[in-house]
Structure 1
Amino acid sequence: MIIFNPIFILFFTILILFLLNYTTKSKKLNLPPGPPAWPIVGNLFQVARSGKPFFAFVNDVRQKYGPIFTLKMGTRTMIFLSDPKLIHEALIENGALYASRPPETPTRSVFSVNKFTVNAATYGPVWRSLRKNMVHNMLSSTRLKEFRSVREKAMDKLIDRLRAEAEANNGVVWVLKDARFAVFCILLTMCFGLEMDEETVEKMDQMMKLVLITVDAKIYDYLPILKPFYSKQRKRALEIRKEQIEFMVPFIEQRRRAIQTPGSDLSATSFSYLDTLFDLKIEGRTSSPSMDELVTLCSEFLNGGTDTTATAVEWGIAELIENPHVQKKLFEEIKETVGGERKVNEKDVEKMPYLQAVMKELLRKHPPTYFTLTHAVTEPTTIAGFDIPTDVNVEIFIKPFGNDPKFWSNPEKFDPERFMEGGMEKDVDITGVTGTMKMMPFGVGRRICPGLGMATVHVHLMLARMVQEFEWSAYPEGKPLDFSGKLVFTVVMKESLRATIKPRSSLASA
């Protein structure tokens, strides 16, 4: 979200004096087309005047200029790719070339410690070391299985919270809030390997939210010349970073003591993400990650998997309410798989093709975000006849994919059957590696989301347990659901979902 300040208008009056002498590199380049940009500010005013969310403005530009286009956002040049063939050419066929990241905004750099994260690192040795460690030592299918008991405990806690909330509110619950808490509990235990009480979990969650809000793009990120006028915001960002470090370091040290003295402190697991980081060898470096870097990597792990998963669950429950026949069929599959005497578990989920089809259909209609994380090229190149220099942001706009009738039959319909045996989209590959790239909810190529496997495990299990335990319906009864979305870290429902739940049986109390 771009935040404007009245002083920006005053300062623009001064900047106008430089218009006659203003030149840009883009005049020497054959960049993709786009709306005419003003000198210095680019298309910033057009975005502001449209009154639309940024993704809606981008979609309007796409419809006018085609699948590859350019926007100038102050000093930043953004080239958007929104066609599956172009994206496949860039991220799959030329994956290494498009695998880097652009410079971070000044505010983000405060929290990333010189881009020392899997998602933000420039393509090179630091990124390779961090990603290899996260994927192989934490997010592999084998390693994920070691945390089954953590997930089962969190699922029980989720069901208990939903039941208690419903009993206190005539059957009504807030879906996103409860789903988010459950996911965060899982990730917190996986990250730190420590037992934390509910109050501590809530405090950690608030700290993570505060960081996300703080790093959201500001106007001076696009016009650095305005930075002196935003010194208070910069100072506040530094204060929040200090608070974050002071809050998280004791837990890091507690985990260090726990693994040095097994059985001590409040260790909840025999293994955690932190354990892989303490002595991590980084290619090209002689030292292990510093304490600031440990805080940054833990924050990335927590923030990267919380909102995306919780948002998917909210959209999923909304679609099950809107499509009661799908909810009924899913419940019937659960009963056929586990019977009526025990809770559905992860091994059961692997035998439930309809649940997996519901998940795919959910990601098709409601991807976690409308844009993947920004890419950058490692050297100047061309695509579709246009220049792609190294200093531009390459933005992958995925919102149009899921609703494109060229790729999907009846795209507005929520229809898991399309992914079932005999369905037209049965073999769709969400990683984009094989076949036609019809959907890419986790990105594609070398910078594909490393948490893809973990996210699908969590969403499958949460939906299965929530549907097994409760029958879901609209609140108030018969109210049409609003399926419009808004971008808040991830794409959430514009009107946060409240639902009425009814226990299906005595299974939950068994």
Structure 2
Amino acid sequence: MYTWLFFIIIVSQCFAVLIFHNRNNKKLPPGPSFLSSNFILLTTSLKNLYPIIKNFESKYGPLITFSPVSGPYIFVNTLDLAHEILIHKGSVFSDRPKSLVMRTISSSSYDPTWKVLRTNLASEILHPSRVKSYSWARKWALHILISRLQDHKEDASGIKVVDHFEHAIFSLLVLICFGEKFEEHRINEIIVTLRHVLFVTQHGSLTVYIFSLFPKESNPLIKSRIEAVNSEPQGNQIVAYVDTLVNLQLPKEEDNKGNGGKLTHRELMNMCSEFLNGGTHSTFTALKWIMANLVKYPDIQSKLYDEIIAVVGPPPREVESEFVISEEDL
């Protein structure tokens, strides 16, 4: 059955390329053929793709193009070239093709709609006044992290800190996104679902479906939040990310979609998924690197410790969860 399914996919894409082959005449960097590109991307997980790309470097050079029907995808193999593209020539390479799959900040081309979505995130969620208003939520997430670390401090195999970082950060972002605290088991269920969806999409052709996380679960969360906002007095509400999206007015050119210039329910789910996925991975990856470098450079760790002691004093002999460095101390 799976052999036939794979055969049908390949034949379908071959047929599609005959139709769309001449639509893109732009000169692209060299790379494997259309059939090879599709075969590799359909049969290789994302974590196993890197060695294959590195092997192609000797044949095609530092810029390699994969050309599936949903592509093309261009891989940059050297740090210097990546820095030149992203930093020195960022304005040239910053745009992206218009997505036919969904509308999110990271998949939209740089048009008026992208500007509205990006401005909403920056002004409603990332603005300093809004960030300050969520200080209680960050304190809650920090206590979750400390509690989980203390619960596992006797583990003979050690503590896998990154899992606890991920859980605490995800708990915080879910609260900011949907305006509601969730129990540990509920957060774990969502994280497992997120990992499963990411793993499944890694066996596809690297499409932007990666942001369509747990749509069946996010749908009730959005509906529940909308109902809660409509039933509560205006002054008692915290502003969640989904609140800012529900009434967001898109540019006039979007009105012809029949949704009154507003995001559809599917788009709301995609936007929330993007917020959770992007915020979680970028933050706990940064924390991983901070912790790794503090271990790698003991002199910097010692200097940091001395600075902390100079501000908050030495820790008590028995450190309790209430003893934390406050944001005011920072």
Distance in structure 1 (CA, Å) of the matches to 2:19 and 2:250: 43
Out of 278, 297, 300, the position equivalent to 2:246 is 278
8 Å CA contact retained: 1:42, 1:71: no
CA distance in 2, matches of 1:260, 1:27: 48
Corresponding residue number in structure 2 for 1:41: 35
CA drift of 1:255 comes to 2.1
Q: Secondary structure at the match of 2:73?
A: strand
Q: Does the 8 A contact of 1:193 with 1:272 survive in 2?
A: yes
Q: Distance in 1 between matches of 2:26 and 2:267?
A: 38
What RMSD, in angstroms, separates the aligned Cα atoms of the two structures? Answer: 3.9
Confirm whether residue 288 of structure 1 aligns to residue 262 of structure 2: yes
Verify the 8 A CA contact 1:208 1:299 in the aligned structure 2.
no
CA contact (8 A) 2:120 2:244 kept: yes
TM-score (norm: length of structure 2): 0.74
Among candidates 140, 145, 150, match of residue 158 of structure 1: 145
What is aligned with 2:318?
none
CA distance in 2, matches of 1:201, 1:52: 25
Post-superposition offset of 1:137: 0.9
Residues in 1 aligned to 2:225 and 2:196: alpha-carbon distance in whole angstroms = 24
Who is 2:185 aligned against? 199
TM-score (norm 1): 0.51
| 1:103-502 equivalences in 2 (<5 Å) | 103=99, 109=101, 115-167=102-154, 169-170=155-156, 172-218=158-204, 244-262=214-232, 270-284=238-252, 285=255, 286-340=260-314, 343-349=324-330
**Secondary structure of the structure 2 residue equivalent to 1:336:** helix
**AA aligned opposite 1:132:** T
Offset of residue 180 of structure 1: 0.6
Q: Structure 2 CA distance, aligned partners of 1:324 and 1:10?
A: 56
* Contact 2:179–2:240, Cα closer than 8 Å, also in 1: yes
- Looking at structure 2, the residues matched to 278 and 22 of structure 1 have their Cα atoms a distance apart, in angstroms, of 39
Quick one: distance in 1 between partners of 2:191 and 2:303? 35
Query: Does 1:31 pair with 2:17?
Result: no
CA distance in 1, matches of 2:19, 2:157: 62
Match of 1:196, SS state, is coil
**CA 1:329–1:282 in 2, change beyond 3 Å: closer, same or farther?**
same
Counterpart position of 2:320: none
From 45, 49, 69, give the equivalent of 1:54: 49
Cα distance per residue 1:440-465 (max 9 Å; x no partner): xxxxxxxxxxxxxxxxxxxxxxxxxx
Contact 2:174 2:181 (8 Å CA) reproduced: no
Task: Please identify, of 195-204 and 40-49, the stretch whose mean Cα deviation from structure 2 is larger.
Answer: 40-49
Distance 1:320 1:86, change over 3 A: closer
Per-residue deviation at 1:136?
1.2
One-letter code aligned to 1:195: K
In 2, Cα distance between equivalents of 1:205 and 1:41: 35
SS at match of 1:173: coil
Opposite residue 327 of structure 2, the aligned amino acid is: E
Letter in 2 for 1:53: N
Q: Distance in 2 between matches of 1:140 and 1:198?
A: 28
Kindly provide the amino acid, as one letter, of the partner of residue 251 in structure 1. Answer: L
After TM superposition, give the deviation of residue 145 of structure 1 in Å: 1.6
Residue 101 (structure 1) aligns with = 97
SS in structure 1 of the partner of residue 105 of structure 2: coil
Instruction: Give 1:204 shift.
Output: 2.6
In 2, are the aligned partners of 1:116 and 1:126 still within 8 Å (CA)? no
Q: Which structure features the higher share of strand residues? A: 1
For the residue of structure 2 that corresponds to 1:71, the secondary structure is strand
Q: CA deviation at 1:140?
A: 2.0
Change (3 A) 1:64 1:158: same
Shift of 1:170: 4.3
Give distance in 2, aligned partners of 1:215 and 1:291.
22
Conservation of the 8 A alpha-carbon contact between 1:91 and 1:99:
no
> How far apart are 1:62 and its partner, in Å?
4.7
State the match for 2:68 in structure 1: 74
Shift of 1:278: 1.7
Which consecutive residues of structure 1, in runs of 5 or more, have no partner in the other structure?
A: 110-114, 222-236, 350-510
Residue 179 and residue 73 in structure 1: after superposition, are their counterparts in 2 closer, same or farther (change >3 A)?
same
Compute the displacement of 1:103 (Å): 4.4
Equivalent residues of 1:165, 1:171 under 8 A apart:
no
Alpha-carbon offset, residue 202 of structure 1: 2.1
Which residue type is aligned with residue 348 of structure 1?
D
Q: Unpaired segments of 5 or more residues in structure 2?
A: 316-322
Change (3 A) 1:339 1:295: same
* AA partner of residue 326 (structure 1): I
The percentage of counterpart residues that share the same residue type is 25
